[in-house]
A and B are shown apart, each in its own frame.
Chain A
Amino acid sequence: MKLIFEQGHPGRGTDYLGPCDVPMVSIHGALREKPLRLPEVSEIEVDRHYSQLARRTHGVNDGFYPLGSCTMKYNPAINEYAASLPGFTQVHPLQEADTAQGCREVCERLKAMLCEITGMDAMTLQPAAGAHGEFTGLLLIKAYHRAMGHTGRTKILVPDSAHGTNPASASMAGFEVVSIASDENGFVDLGALKAAAKEDVAGLMLTNPNTVGLFDPQILEITRIVHEAGGLNYYDGANLNAVMGVARPGDMGFDVVHLNLHKTFSTPHGGGGPGSGPNGCKQFLAPFLPGQDTPESIGNVRSFGGNFLVAVRALTYLMTIGREGVPQAAKHAVLNANYMRVKLSDLFPMAYDRICMHEFVMSLEKLKEETGVSALDVAKAMLDHGIHPPTMYFPLIVHEALMVEPTETETRETLDEAVRVLREIWEKAQQDPSSMHHLPETTPVCRPDEVAAARNPRIRYDFEAMGR
């Protein structure tokens, strides 16, 4: 399809403003010399362009989206209604406080609920995404150790199964990253943890349930080891959906958490954002939280109070599902994952074959050895069935990994159909493996050349080359 820059005609466009009702002034300083090459299109062209782009995009509304570690649950329509109310969208962030009491109440209520769900004492909504929350949480740990005079605590322990954002966030917060091995069950290797938990440790970052979809049963011992070494425990809330209302990080020995409102609390992902990554912490860290006027505060990690309209959606969701709905969502997320797991495990070996949490990881190593069909090939084959593939090649500790997270909002029919599709793909891999390397067939493009894209980056439209 054409780019928007390849449509329209010079001089075309719609006048949205009408005439200026004051005398026009011109600025005399340094002015732009180069003409501004924006699209010159009529409104119908804009409308059709974005409709066409939407048709070439698969959303949760289009079909099953079991993308592991991303919690692609249904995004309720009422959330969108609430977030579109002019009483929220038309409020200036620097209005005097008494003219924005509704916004404040939304935030206070949401923070109280999130504290209750995580077992934390204080919360900030300022971080704009999960990784942003990680960075913020680590700065709290840094500021705390500084304030306590712990100058030698320069290391953050991160399991080798962790999301890439964990070590990247630790780096941004000025820490050295120490990778902790996982044991054969996918859990933290306690021996490795004990050996690393020394007087130079500032803290541990842990996702629990972890990235292989298992709840680490040694959790209390893990957090105790870190505390006894003088470090703090950071809970990456990426997988909270499995345990919300069942168990709380605050009761497991964690001092600071981040949540992903765009995963656990049903706000949409927007094709890559906006998200929201609130941080919660225990009381002793509360003075360090961003966005407040305490002398200990780390400052601001973003302008204003955060992605407010995302908070509106999350509050709407929590008000809707309420006390009973929170654990119900968690339990059904776990049930749906286990249901798919048992229906697939005879053909698709599980990396860790036991009851899982909200997601499970299959290893297609054997299939690849026997047929040459890789995890990538299986994922691409799923596209022809209208299913978004699972997360591929993550976590890094599992070879040929496919990580499946169905979420609680999918029906049994959807799960059964996905199981049927995967089994059919497995059969095809046995019978006609060579045909599998050139799928999908039904999508607008098939296997774009990523190597060429990176080698010779074309990251904007080239007007000159296209004669425009």
Chain B
Amino acid sequence: MATYVPAAREEEQAMLEACGLHQLDDLYGDVPASVRLTTPLNLPEGMAEMSVRREMERLAGQNTVFPHVFRGAGAYRHMIPAIVETAAGHEAFRTAYTPYQAEISQGVLQSIFEFQTDICELTGMEAANASVYDGACAAAEACEMCRERKRSRILVSESVDPKVLSVIRTYAFGRDVQVDLVPLSGGVTDPEALSALVTEDVSCLVVQQPNFFGCLEDLDKLTAQAHAGGAKMIVHFNPIALALLKTPGECGADIAVGEGQPLGIPLSWGGPYLGFMATTAKLMRRLPGRIVGETADEQGRRAFVLTLQAREQHIRREKASSNICSNEALCALRAAAYLAAMGPKGLREVAVQCASKAHYLQKALEEAGLPPVFPEREFFHEFVTHCPDAGRLLSALRREGILGGLPLSGNRMLWCATEMNTREEMDRAAAIVREVTKQ
């Protein structure tokens, strides 16, 4: 077995003697004998690195890595420039703790400050935090920011990703807050149904852009309706789409949140990902989690520190705006490095290629026999088609190394295309679809 304990036996003895003890077990005098383990744990024996490596490679090999992916639904495969790995791969970034000691943490602190700036720029909002666990948690935390004594009920559009809704519900169970759904009309939030639902006990409305079905919501209208009823507007936004679409800030939203995974973070079977949150100056002090601010040191040099900590659990304890402590700092650093590499032109190009390829795929699938479910709606890089026999279709695609769309209830399928999908592979997928639907 390998060990990371450096002390050799004779050192161990010398150190014990320095403590006035004879054996390691003497250190545990405070642990009652009745709870001390008398037999070793039932764990496998330790292994040398050579064997561990082999075993982990074997486990990784049990997974299928699809060369062609047409599935999104909250996790997206994008091109990640090699420089992102290089930039985020510095060991100090990986092994540092939360930057409590500003003097030796200026690097991490500055990276967070730059990330906060990026998120403000993307969303058009005034203040962002250092990240939360993922996009769903960001939405749930945003709801909590809006809770007031007489307004606690949360409205969530039915077009919000069911995973996000589920997390909002779980957090709401904690606070004993009611969550109600806003029904859809033609794949988007129904504005008429909404106006009846925004009563004086509603704290906020959560809408997703583009929504779970890929359709674009009319944010201006929905925001106006939420505000007319005295509720706050939370938009869960895809960060790539932010390069093209009217921003939450421009729509007058109160809080913008989202899943930052598309910004240079690999799929990784669901995590670690990156929840981002941005809001207005007015709501800034209700943000959960870490926030980095700029200040000056004793000699007037620019310096960065953790700030507005009066919101946080280590100061406010049970009155804190959230319990969050660890966040996803290294993922935020990756996202910032990705955005620096891409630049405004590059990110826009990613968004335009996503939209173009998704539209190409949609047409190709329609011609192959899978008509769109919401033909009248504009979409970004995801769309829903009818799909009578999802199982058979997915198997046929899989044989060609293609991960097809995500089957939805009602014989429908949610498809996604990104800049990574080539015309050739989309044509091939469509040809397979044609074969299968013909049979």
Contact = CB atoms under 8 A, between A and B. Distances in A.
B95 A268 contact: yes
Given A34-B250, A90-B65, A130-B326, A13 B346 contact: yes
9 contacts: A30-B220, A32-B124, A33-B246, A168-B313, A168-B317, A220-B35, A273-B328, A275-B326, A324-B40
Interface string A35-60: 11111110100110111111111111
Contact of B290 (A95, A117, A272, A324): A272
A411 interface: yes
Given A306-B271, A308-B269, A269 B98 contact: yes
Contacts of B216: 27, 29-30
Contacts of A426: none
Interface stretch (B110-118, B196-204, B227-235): B110-118
Contact of A319 (B55, B122, B320, B359): B55
A434 interface: no
B295 A174 contact: no
B319 A171 contact: yes
A200 interface: no
B193 interface: no
Contact of B350 (A17, A389, A440, A461): A17
B93 A54 contact: yes
Contacts of B355: 25-27
Contacts of B60: 82, 85-88, 102
Interface stretch (A67-75, A226-234, A279-287): A67-75
Contacts of B62: 87, 101-102, 105
B5 to A, nearest CB: 5
A165 B18 contact: no
Nearest to A135: B323
Interface in B343-379: 343-350, 352-353, 355-357, 359-360, 378
B409 interface: no
B430 interface: no
A116 B43 contact: yes
Given A54-B90, A320-B47, A380-B103, A305 B318 contact: no
A325 B315 CA distance: 37
Contact of A274 (B55, B136, B330): B330
A22 to B, nearest CB: 4
Interface string B53-96: 10111111111111001010111010101010011101111111
B247 interface: yes
B24 to A, nearest CB: 4
Interface in B191-237: 216, 218-220
Contacts of B357: 20, 22
B382 interface: no
Given A59-B93, A168-B323, A332 B59 contact: no
Nearest to B318: A167
Contact of B133 (A246, A302, A308, A391): A302
Interface in A54-111: 54-62, 65, 67, 70, 72-76, 78, 80-82, 85-96, 99-103, 105-106
A355 interface: yes
Given A41-B343, A49-B340, A247-B35, A324 B45 contact: yes
Interface in A400-434: 408-412
Given A17-B79, A32-B250, A245-B41, A90 B267 contact: yes
Given A37-B344, A92-B71, A446 B298 contact: yes
B378 A28 contact: yes
B85 to A, nearest CB: 9
Interface residues of A, number: 203
Most central of B92, B120, B320 by chain A CB within 10 Å: B92
A238 to B, nearest CB: 10
Contact of A99 (B64, B313, B352): B64
B217 to A, nearest CB: 9
A129 B326 contact: yes
Interface string B239-278: 0001111110111000000010000001111111100000
A21 B7 contact: no
Contacts of B336: 4
A435 to B, nearest CB: 14
B396 interface: no
A16 B378 CA distance: 27
Given A23-B356, A23-B360, 19 more contacts: A26-B352, A27-B244, A27-B355, A57-B106, A82-B56, A92-B267, A94-B75, A100-B63, A128-B328, A129-B327, A131-B325, A167-B318, A215-B28, A273-B133, A274-B328, A275-B326, A302-B271, A326-B43, A454-B293
Which 5 A-B pairs give the minimum distances between C-beta atoms?
A322-B46, A87-B60, A304-B270, A102-B62, A270-B330
A59 B94 CA distance: 7
A92 B161 CA distance: 16
A355 B30 CA distance: 9
B308 interface: yes
A246 B30 contact: no
Contact of A117 (B30, B41, B246, B419): B41
A301 interface: yes
A4 B93 contact: no
Contacts of B22: none
Interface in A277-313: 290, 298-310, 312
A40 B77 CA distance: 24
Interface stretch (A190-198, A333-341, A362-370): A333-341
Contacts of B310: 454
Nearest to A322: B46
A459 interface: yes
A88 B269 contact: yes
A1 B107 CA distance: 10
Contact of A459 (B69, B293, B339): B293
B267 A322 contact: no
B324 interface: yes
B324 A129 contact: yes
Contacts of A391: 100
A113 interface: yes
A116 B284 CA distance: 44
Nearest to A323: B43
